[in-house]
Structure 1
Amino acid sequence: MPKEIKQLDETACKILEILERDARISISELASRIGLSAPSTTERVRKLEQDGIITGFTVEINPKALGYILEAIVRVKPSPGNLHVVEQLILNEPRFTSCDKVTGEDCFVTRIYLKDVSELDDLLDPLHEKAMTNTSIVKASPIKNRMVPLR
């Protein structure tokens, strides 16, 4: 049974918007920005976590700073009977940084980062025995990890 959908008040929306921009903000600074006391703010954040709205606080890493100069989207269409085998190959390869199971002609849409385009064949060759792939190099990402509308 689905969990009850929560309606967010203005304060909760402000908290989420601020934390989305800077998850490392101190509780005292967050409290100051939303106009509540630190204990009240702590309780509001804790409630958002308990309700499953906040699921974690993360760090964002710049792949280019680590030498990954190319990002690619790889659409994967397993051959008949190989869906689970291909999924396991993707799960076991750490260079796949995201993977979505999708409807339509492809079964998986993945993202990978590469230090050089020559890595592409080594990465995808194990899949080619079990699937067809279609690769697009990402030129730019005008929207990256945008938060869903809160209202």
Structure 2
Amino acid sequence: MTVNLDPIDWSVLAELQRDGRLPLTELARRVNLSASAVTERVRRLESTGVIAGYRAEVDLAAVGYGVLAVVRLKYPGSRHEPLHRLLDERPEILECLRTTGDDCYLLKVVATTMPQLERTINELAQFGSTTTNVVYRQTLPYRGPQAPEHD
């Protein structure tokens, strides 16, 4: 279900994506609404599922994960449950996207060391061929969706 958002909703989302802990009074000031009006909008965006949750952004290096990699996995066959179980068991696999094209999955993996990354890749390789790219730098951190441009 698509939720119709007006420009003020998009402004609220943009501010909360920059700082999910922003006090509602400050959010209201930034989007030029009263505190009660912005509170109602945030509650509506949460109840309709537009705002799916709030989380802390963690500096991976600061907590010991000095290695970040993107792994592409070609998964032959159609029984994906064993891979899904591994994803549930391995916290170093931060994200997994099912994709079209030659690769079936795109995974974001962290490790404390290169040998740890190698062990994780070896576990993934039991499901199919992998291609691993180690990330030098996060040039553009995840920023969330912005209001679409209209012609």
TM-score (norm 2): 0.86
| Cross-structure match for 1:92 | 89
Match of residue 134, structure 1, among 111, 125, 131? 131
CA RMSD of superposed structures (Å): 1.8
| Cross-structure match for 1:144 | 141
Q: Please identify, of 89-98 and 103-112, the stretch whose mean Cα deviation from structure 2 is larger.
A: 89-98
> 5 Å matches for 1:29-68?
29-68=26-65
Structure 1 position 69 matched with structure 2 position 66 = yes
Q: Which amino acid aligns with 1:90?
A: L
* Deviation per residue, 1:8-64 (Å, 9 max, x gap): 222212211111111101111111222222111111111111222111121111111
Contact 2:7 2:147 in 1 (8 A): no
Percentage of matched positions with identical amino acids: 30
Report the alpha carbon displacement of residue 81 of structure 1 after superposing the two structures with TM. Answer: 5.9
Aligned residue pairs, count: 148
Contact 1:82 1:130 in 2 (8 A): no
Q: Aligned to 1:118, what secondary structure does the other structure show?
A: helix
* Deviation per residue, 1:55-106 (Å, 9 max, x gap): 1121111111011111001111234465432333233211111101111111
What are structure 1's unaligned runs of at least 5 residues?
none
What are structure 2's unaligned runs of at least 5 residues?
none
Match of residue 122, structure 1, among 119, 123, 126? 119
Distance in 2, matches of 1:51 and 1:83, equals: 30
Flag the 1:135–1:41 CA change in 2: closer, same or farther, 3 A.
same
TM-score (norm 1): 0.86
